[in-house]
Amino acid sequence: MTTTDPQPDVEAKNSMQAKYFRKALNDLTPNNVGQLKALNEVIFTEKQSDDFYKDAVKSEEFAKLALFNDICVGGITTTKETVEGSDKTKVVITTLGVLNAYRRMGLGAMLLDHIITQSEEAKDKAISEIHVNLQTKDEGVLAFFKGRGFAAKGSSGALVRLINAPVSA
């Protein structure tokens, strides 16, 4: 299609979206963990250790990569901890990032939503909350998490989203 066309019809627009804005999630494996490392090195200032990535590979569905047109452009990693004074587990987001050039296209949401669904569907409903400790004061990032049901909790500064909680909570 030509870009000079003043009014691209809706159909063309949709097919262009489907063809050239392909989005997907991918498993994190020992073979591609180098890509996550490369991503995180440009997205975050803090550098993660080799052990961090070794563990990440073992998180099964609780770590994912985001693909745009088959190129890896984002990723999420988490760890699991027990909630103090409870037999429940909380999922802690350790990194969630999308490359600058690929933001605001829904990839971050795809990654996070995947973790939320996985938490909700976890065996025995053992997961009660998802945590994230933001290192940034960025309003956009905050808006992003708030938009997905996260809220500040306590003095720790962590954002928390409850899982499988009664609606009233």
Partner 1 sequence: MPPKQGRELPSKESALFKAILKLYEHKQYKRGLKQAEQILKKFPEHGETQAMKGLFLSHLNRKEEGYEFVKKGLRNDLMSHTCWHVYGLMHRADKNYDEAIKCYVNALKFDKENMQIIRDLSLLQIQMRNYEGYNETRHTLLSLRPTNKMYWVGLAISYHMLQKYDTALNVLSAFEESLKEQTDNVPDYENSEMLMYKNLVIEESGDYQKALTHLEEIRGKVVDKRGWKEAKARHLLNLGKLAQSEVEYRQLLDQNADCHAYLEGLLKARGLVGDLDGTQLEKAQRLMNELGLKYPRSHIIKRTPLKYVKGEAFHRMLDEYLQPMLRKGVPSLFVSIKDLYTNAEKAKTVEEVVLGYKNSLKANASFSGKAADGAEEPPTAYLWVLYFLAQHYDYKRETKKALECIDEALAHTPTLVELLMTKARILKHGGDSEAAMKTMNKAREIDLQDRFINSKCTKYMLRNDKMEDAEKTITLFTRSESADPLADLTDMQCMWFALECAKSHVRKGEVGRALKRLHQIEQHFCDIYDDQFDFHSYSLRKMTLRAYIDLLRVEDRLRGHPFFYEAATIAVRTYIALYDKPKHAGSGGAGGAEGLSEADRKKAERKARKAALKKSGESAAATETSGTAAANAKVDKDVDGTKFLDANYLDEAEKFARNLLTMSGDRVEAHILGAQVYTRKHKYLLALKSVKRAYALLSKPSASNASPQFAADLHVAAIEFWNAVNAAKEQKAAPVPAPTKGQETAQYPTQSPPLHPTVVTLLDEEIAALFKVATPAAFNTEFSKNAVSSPESALAAAQSGAPITILDSHCSDVKRMSLQTAISIHKGLSSSPIADRTRADKFRDAARTAFPTATYFK
Ligand X SMILES: CC(C)(COP(=O)(O)OP(=O)(O)OC[C@H]1O[C@@H](n2cnc3c(N)ncnc32)[C@H](O)[C@@H]1OP(=O)(O)O)[C@@H](O)C(=O)NCCC(=O)NCCS
Interface residues with partner 1 (CB under 8 A) are 1, 3-8, 13, 16, 19-21, 30-32, 34-35, 37-39, 41-42, 68-73, 99-102
Buried b (16+ CB within 10 A) or exposed e, 91-100: bbbbbbbbbe
Q: Which of 10, 7, 12, 24 is nearest to 73 (CA)?
A: 24
**Secondary structure class of 12 (helix, strand, coil):** helix
Minimum separation from the CB atom of position 106 to partner 1 (A): 13
| Binding partner at 45 among ligand X, partner 1, none, C-beta below 5 to 8 Å by kind | none
| Binding partner at 95 among ligand X, partner 1, none, C-beta below 5 to 8 Å by kind | ligand X
| Binding partner at 71 among ligand X, partner 1, none, C-beta below 5 to 8 Å by kind | partner 1
Q: Are 142 and 133 within 8 A, CB to CB? A: no
| Binding partner at 73 among ligand X, partner 1, none, C-beta below 5 to 8 Å by kind | partner 1
Minimum separation from the CB atom of position 25 to ligand X (A): 12
**Secondary structure class of 130 (helix, strand, coil):** strand
